[in-house]
């Protein structure tokens, strides 16, 4: 516990300077052109419109179709807090340079559904949709070390900001019967930061073809 306290103390010492760090202008441009999203779960419920059980009210499918028509092709902005950012994991780290890679599984859960980068085509042995990783590259800030970097993930200290454009509903067979539903999207950008300070960890943008 003492080591952890010392680590957080070091982060807090850096906080005043880090709070002034500018957001990458490429992501800022995407974010400013997008509509902020309050609740991912609510958005996914309305977009999918599964209309089963208690949700199968009059006009449910028509309302879902109208909701999709409103948001298809529209950029949206989402903040995923530290406790919910379970889709991030540390990748390779270079001790000599401090360069690292953070793996992001582009599967953003909200309620009964998930937002994904494009539509998954299959599930694994446990029935979970298989998604290719997105790699975010970065270099640790001055004064940090490999242990501090690793603790960001073990202590859930990473926050994710996502700009995406929804494009449709996907379905996959559910293990044991039924279907899994989700929302396919084009992920326009992912910004990872230290949750407590706002220090940027890295930016992912789609490669231009």
Calculate what percentage of the chain has a pLDDT beyond 70. Answer: 87
Q: Give the neighbor-by-neighbor strand order of the sheet with 99-104.
A: 88-93, 99-104, 134-139
Residue pair 115/185 in contact by the 8 Å Cβ criterion: yes
Positions of E strands within the chain: 35-36, 76-80, 88-93, 99-104, 107-110, 113-117, 134-139, 158-173, 179-194, 200-204
Q: 170 Cβ partners below 8 Å, 6+ apart?
A: 116, 119, 120, 181, 182, 183, 184
Measured over all CA atoms, what is the biggest interatomic distance in the chain, rounded to whole angstroms? 62
Query: 6 pLDDT exceeds 90?
Result: no
Query: 161 pLDDT exceeds 50?
Result: yes
Model pLDDT, residue 53: 63
Give the pLDDT band of residue 103 (cuts 50, 70, 90).
very high
Query: 4 pLDDT exceeds 50?
Result: no
Residue 34 CA to residue 29 CA, distance in Å, equals: 9
Mean pLDDT of 141-147: 86
**SS3 state of residue 137:** strand
Model pLDDT, residue 60: 85
Model pLDDT, residue 14: 36
Query: 19 pLDDT exceeds 80?
Result: no
Residue pair 90/121 in contact by the 8 Å Cβ criterion: no
Residue pair 89/102 in contact by the 8 Å Cβ criterion: yes
Query: 100 pLDDT exceeds 80?
Result: yes
Query: Taking the alpha carbons of 146, 93, 17, 38 in that order, is the dihedral positive or negative?
Result: negative
Mean pLDDT of 185-190: 98
Structure tokens that stand for 26 in this block: 């490429």
Give this prediction's pTM.
0.85
Query: 71 pLDDT exceeds 70?
Result: yes
Q: 175 Cβ partners below 8 Å, 6+ apart?
A: 123, 126, 127
- How far is C-alpha 78 from the chain's CA centre? 8
∠ Cα 49 87 99 (to 5°): 145
**SS3 state of residue 76:** strand
Mean pLDDT of 94-113: 94
């Amino acid at each position: 516990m003492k080591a952890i306290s010392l680590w957080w103390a070091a982060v807090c010492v850096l906080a005043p300077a880090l709070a002034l760090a500018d957001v990458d202008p490429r992501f800022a441009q995407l974010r400013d052109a997008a509509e902020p999203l309050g609740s991912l779960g609510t958005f996914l419920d309305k977009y999918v419109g599964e209309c089963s059980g208690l949700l199968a009210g009059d006009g449910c499918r028509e309302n879902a179709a109208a909701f999709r028509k409103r948001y298809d092709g529209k950029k949206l902005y989402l903040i995923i807090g530290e406790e919910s950012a379970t889709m991030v994991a540390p990748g390779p780290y270079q001790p000599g340079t401090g360069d690292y890679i953070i793996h992001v599984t582009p599967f953003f859960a909200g309620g009964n559904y998930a937002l994904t980068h494009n539509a998954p085509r299959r599930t694994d042995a446990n029935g979970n949709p298989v998604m290719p990783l997105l790699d975010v590259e970065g270099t640790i800030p001055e004064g940090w070390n490999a242990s501090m970097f690793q603790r960001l993930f073990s202590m859930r200290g990473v926050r994710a900001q996502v700009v995406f454009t929804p494009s449709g509903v996907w379905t996959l067979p559910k293990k044991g019967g039924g279907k899994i539903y989700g929302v396919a999207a084009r992920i326009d950008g992912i910004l990872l930061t230290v949750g407590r300070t706002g220090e940027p960890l890295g930016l992912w943008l789609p490669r231009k073809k």
